[in-house]
Structure 1
Amino acid sequence: MINTKGNQITQFVYDEIETIGNGNCFSAKKETFWGVIDASGRIVIDFEHTEVIDSGYGFYYTKISGQKNQKIYNEFFKYLGEFPIDSIENLDKGLLLIKPHKGLNSSLLYKKDGNLLDSGFEKINRQTNFNDLLVIRKDKKHGLISRKNESYVLPCLYDAILDIRARVNDGISDIALIHQAEKKGIYDGNPKQPSWLIPLDDYQQILWLHETVFTLQKNRCGASLIRQPVSLAILNLTWLFRNLMKMVLLTHLKQTTFIPLARLASLLPPNQLRWNMLSEDYAYYFEFESRKRLLAYAKGLSRNDEQTTDELTSVHDLCVKAIAAYNARDYAKSIYYDTIASEKGYALSMNNLAHLYYNIEGFLDDDKAFYWYHKSALSGNENAMNGLGMCYKHGVGTPVDIEKALFWLNKAAEMSLAIANNNLGDLYSEDLLLPSDNDKALQYYQAAADLGEPINNWLGYLYDLKGDYEKALHYYQLGADEGIDVSAYNLGIFYLNGLGTDKNVIMAIDSFKSALDRGYPQAHIDLALIYQNETGFKDKNKVQQHIDAAKAAGLEIPEDLVAKKKGWFGF
């Protein structure tokens, strides 16, 4: 190897060198064995493997002769063991999960140094979106692992650990709601300083409001907990509570303080508080869907009645409104409704919002498309999984990553999403990001066709390559019926040569003319050859007409047509 300055990096001792991963390391063969060298030429995986070493998402692997399992190294070149490829999952920040498979009944979690962090646990909770934390279930109890610190910050002793989607400094946090028997508490898993914000106690309910501000309910009496300095704010909840009240929720106190709800009345002018503070409705009015609305008032932001109504509308109804606006091409309104529903956690709206940012001219935003596809995909929406895969394929809002593209597209395909199967077919037939594999391409295209969304011209072409002319003819015919020019052209080839059917020159001519009508000029050449060579159809004038049209289209005229033309006209 040499670098871009022309300096030699490695000696001439390798029989082969191949780029793997992100291009920062190389699989190399020395005599009969394979190893890995980095960009400086340093050996990072020893030359002791009989098969080439390849890369997955966050790991390297090499085949073991006669076995399904493969030798696995993590991204830091630490040997982990022998496992099947499909059992490995990259949990980011250097952690690799080995899922149960034949010969392994429980999960393994490996650290960056290749040592086990834990084993024997039942599962990782996938319903969380923490920055750093992983929720582990072991022996039916839950604990927390910090990926950055590669250690448990809470042991597996708790009944439940929930992600309450608390945001701090406008970013995703590691704040979790902890349940233990009848007690609840709030734990901040920030890897720099993990700690309890609210120790476990007999709270009936804990709800996040803003940053590290929470409301608590204990013994049927509510209170507000202030964890940082906040300005005095009045929440004008006239519409929300149907003109029942206005109330002060937050104070300017600078230390952690509990304020019983009944005391809030003393902070207001007379007759402005007309709500039973001890009512069970208290919890309802602070549910997740209302938090955004409450914050807007707390920050003194103005909202008209229509905006207030929209923010308190159910996410399903908001999504319906967004779709109606989209169909009416009022894309700004569609974004407005879908954004509200998406911020409330509605996966379908997240996907629709991402689709709009990905596709609609005038509203394109790569970062937002990737963000919402990612959140919706993690929530289990198969269309978003497909969209996220395409983001990774085309580098929309993220660097191109073919491994991640394949992962998410396959996830969507496994959920019987036809377009994901077609997109996988495209990947294996394009010969750009992946080596072309016509068998895999056909497998995915056919799966999409079975789900009702065939790409007929590609199916015809791939069956044509396999020599299955009857199926190829079938799909070319379907493609031609759809108005696809190249399908009509290929149908003409089949009828002219008797592939998958009896030879039929009339049908061939009709198909070639159909291809011409749809803008496929190559058919001029084939029609000229028919009128020159086919018995019963020879016509010098038509030959010349199609040759002239082919020249006008910039096509190269075959020699046999040129030669015949010279013979007829005697020059």
Structure 2
Amino acid sequence: MKFRQLKPPEAQHTIKVPLELEGMDSTNKFYWTIDMDETDDKLQLALGLFYDLGQGGISDPQEAVYWYKRSANQGNREAQTALALCYQEGTGVEVNFEKAVYWYELAALQDFSIAQCNLGYCYEVGQGVAKDIEQAIYWTKKAAFQGLAKAQNNLANYYKIGLGLEQSFTKAIYWFRKAANQDDPIAQGQLGYLYEQGLGVTKNEKKAFCWYEKSASLGNTLSLCCLGQCYHFGIGTEINFEKALECYRVAATCGDDIAQYCLGMCYDYGDIIEEDIALAFFWYKKSAEQGYDFAQFDIGRFYQHGICVEKDIQTAISWYKKAAAQGNQLAVKALEELE
């Protein structure tokens, strides 16, 4: 029994402003108000961070926005980016994507890589600005060439899927490696996938395993799931069912939808653990509710045939339709047979 092909890890776009100012001890930020001019933009930024992060037990998002605005209006690019993120996420202020773009752009024009990366994301998805892939690539590249790992990861993903650029797995590998060498777990997981599939690089399952392992050690649950598959099927390492189950369980418990599906399959087929249809249904349902199409198909299958649940064709059709809407051909075929 082989699992269906895992989806590669997705690129992560929006990232937060660094929490510390260079040369500033975070424990002293609040008390510096005594010694520094209140019109100082760096102090205002520090106060914004103090209230934003709840340092000293004082958390006040609205007060944080107040100080970010004062600093941002003086041209502080870090404060402009922090303020943009507040508008983007609705922290201390109502969500306003247009204002987020406005402040990101001001900081990006000052060559602040984090703002450039986030602005690129806004252009990519059309958030607060008209969707414009060329602009997304432009700003992402500027941040990537400055060495920002998240931007390098995003640029690599553009090359991998051919979004606004000619598809090039070789260039994707180049940029993923740049980010991975900075311990970006998403880029490391992507490298693992590309080595496993032999895309843009000579297929090397041992290297794939190593990159999945590095990524998983940094908390990437999808890479942990991929690591589980490596142990399950002997991809780049010896088969070890115990370790495979451990990887699946940990990732599934952390909420990874594909790991939940894999764990469900283990209980469903009983190949590396004792069969338990009730637990199979439980984990399939967890995954399906997060939108994973193969899990949605299997939940439909359980309802169609009355496996572990009362037979319910209408509920089965409902789940099949969810999976089919994502292009799942098994679900499409199941719907055709029921109709």
TM bin, normalised by shorter chain, reads 0.5 to 0.7
SS of the residue corresponding to residue 500 of structure 1 reads: coil
Q: Which runs of 5+ in 1 are unaligned?
A: 1-309, 560-571
Q: Secondary structure at the match of 1:447?
A: helix
The alpha-carbon distance between structure 1 residues 396 and 510, as it changes in their structure 2 partners (threshold 3 A), is: closer
Change (3 A) 1:499 1:313: same
Using the TM superposition, give the Cα deviation of residue 432 of structure 1 relative to its aligned residue in structure 2, in angstroms. Answer: 6.0
Deviation at 1:327, TM superposition (A): 1.2
Alignment partner of 2:74 out of 344, 356, 359:
344
Distance 1:364 1:546, change over 3 A: closer
1:450: Cα distance to partner?
Answer: 1.4
1:375 aligns with 2:117: no
* Structure that is richer in helix per residue: 2
Q: What SS class does the counterpart of residue 243 from structure 2 fall into?
A: helix
Deviations 1:83-120 (A, max 9, x none): xxxxxxxxxxxxxxxxxxxxxxxxxxxxxxxxxxxxxx
Q: How do 1:218-297 residues align onto structure 2 when only pairs under 5 Å count? A: none
Residue 348 of structure 1, CA deviation: 2.2
Assess if the C-alpha contact under 8 Å between 1:357 and 1:365 holds in 2.
yes
Mark the CA change 1:487 to 1:453 in structure 2 (over 3 Å): closer, same or farther: closer
State the AA in 2 paired with 1:458. Q
Contact between 1:429 and 1:437, CA under 8 Å: does it hold in 2?
Answer: yes
1:484/1:518 contact within 8 Å kept = no
Equivalence for 2:174: 443
1:382-401 residue pairs with structure 2 within 5 A?
Answer: 382-401=113-132
Q: Does 1:366 align with 2:97?
A: yes
Q: Partner letter of residue 339 of structure 1?
A: K
Determine the C-alpha separation between the residues in 1 that align with 2:183 and 2:164. Answer: 27
**Does structure 2 retain, via aligned residues, the 8 Å contact 1:512–1:526?**
no
Shift of residue 435, structure 1, vs aligned partner: 6.6
The higher-RCO structure (CA 8 Å, 6+ apart) is 2
Whether 2:67 is the aligned partner of 1:325: answer no
Q: Is the 8 A contact 2:116 2:139 kept in 1?
A: yes
| CA deviation after TM superposition for structure 1 residue 470, in Å | 1.6
Paired with 1:551 and 1:412, the residues of 2 have a C-alpha distance of 39
How far is the alpha carbon of 1:430 from its aligned partner? Answer: 5.5
Deviations 1:312-363 (A, max 9, x none): 6211211111211221242222222222222222222222222221223543
Tell me the residue number matched to 2:248: 512
For 2:210 and 2:162, how far apart are their aligned partners in 1? 25
- CA contact under 8 A between 2:134 and 2:164: conserved in structure 1? no
Deviations 1:46-77 (A, max 9, x none): xxxxxxxxxxxxxxxxxxxxxxxxxxxxxxxx
Displacement, 1:436?
5.4
Amino acid at match of 1:353: L
Change (3 A) 1:458 1:546: same
Aligned to 1:542, which of 266, 270, 275?
275
- 2:222 aligned partner: 486
SS at match of 1:502: coil
Count matched residues.
Answer: 244
CA distance in 2 between partners of 1:395 and 1:551 (Å): 33
Distance 1:490 1:440, change over 3 A: same
SS of the equivalent of 1:556 reads helix
Task: Tell me by how many angstroms 1:449 deviates.
Answer: 1.7
**Root-mean-square deviation over aligned CA pairs:** 3.3
* 1:499 match: 235
Establish whether residue 459 from structure 1 lines up as the match of residue 191 from structure 2. yes
Shift of the 334–547 alpha-carbon distance from structure 1 to 2, 3 Å rule, reads closer
Task: Assess if the C-alpha contact under 8 Å between 1:342 and 1:350 holds in 2.
Answer: yes
1:547–1:404 distance in 2 versus 1, CA, 3 Å: closer
Shift of 1:508: 2.5
CA–CA separation in structure 2 for the residues paired with 1:516 and 1:493: 13
Deviations 1:172-208 (A, max 9, x none): xxxxxxxxxxxxxxxxxxxxxxxxxxxxxxxxxxxxx
The Cα offsets for residues 120-151 of structure 1, whole Å up to 9 and x where unpaired, read as: xxxxxxxxxxxxxxxxxxxxxxxxxxxxxxxx
- In the TM superposition, what are the counterparts of 1:52-451 in structure 2 within 5 Å? 313-328=39-54, 329-361=59-91, 362-429=93-160, 437-451=168-182
In structure 2, the CA distance between the partners of 1:378 and 1:503, relative to structure 1 (3 Å rule), is same
**Normalization by structure 2: what TM-score?**
0.61
- AA matched with 2:176: Y
Instruction: Kindly indicate whether the alpha-carbon contact (under 8 Å) linking 1:525 and 1:546 is maintained by their aligned counterparts in 2.
Output: no
Q: How far has the Cα of 1:414 moved from its partner?
A: 0.9
CA contact (8 A) 2:185 2:218 kept: no
Alignment-mate amino acid for residue 556 of structure 1: D
Structure 1 range deviating more: 424-433 or 452-461: 424-433
Contact preservation (8 Å) 2:266, 2:280: no
- Tell me the distance in 1 between the aligned counterparts of 2:282 and 2:81: 48
Residue 272 (structure 1) aligns with: none
Matching residue's letter, 2:66: Y
Q: Check 1:527–1:358 CA distance in 2 against 1; reply closer, same or farther (3 A cut).
A: same
Output the CA distance in 1 between the equivalents of 2:265 and 2:130.
44
CA distance in 1, matches of 2:229, 2:149: 29
Cα 1:446–1:488, aligned 2, differ >3 Å: closer, same or farther? Answer: same
Give the number of the structure whose alpha-carbon radius of gyration is greater.
1
Task: Give the direction of change, closer, same or farther, for the CA distance of 1:422–1:551 in structure 2 (3 Å limit).
Answer: closer
Cα pair 1:446 1:454 within 8 Å, conserved: no
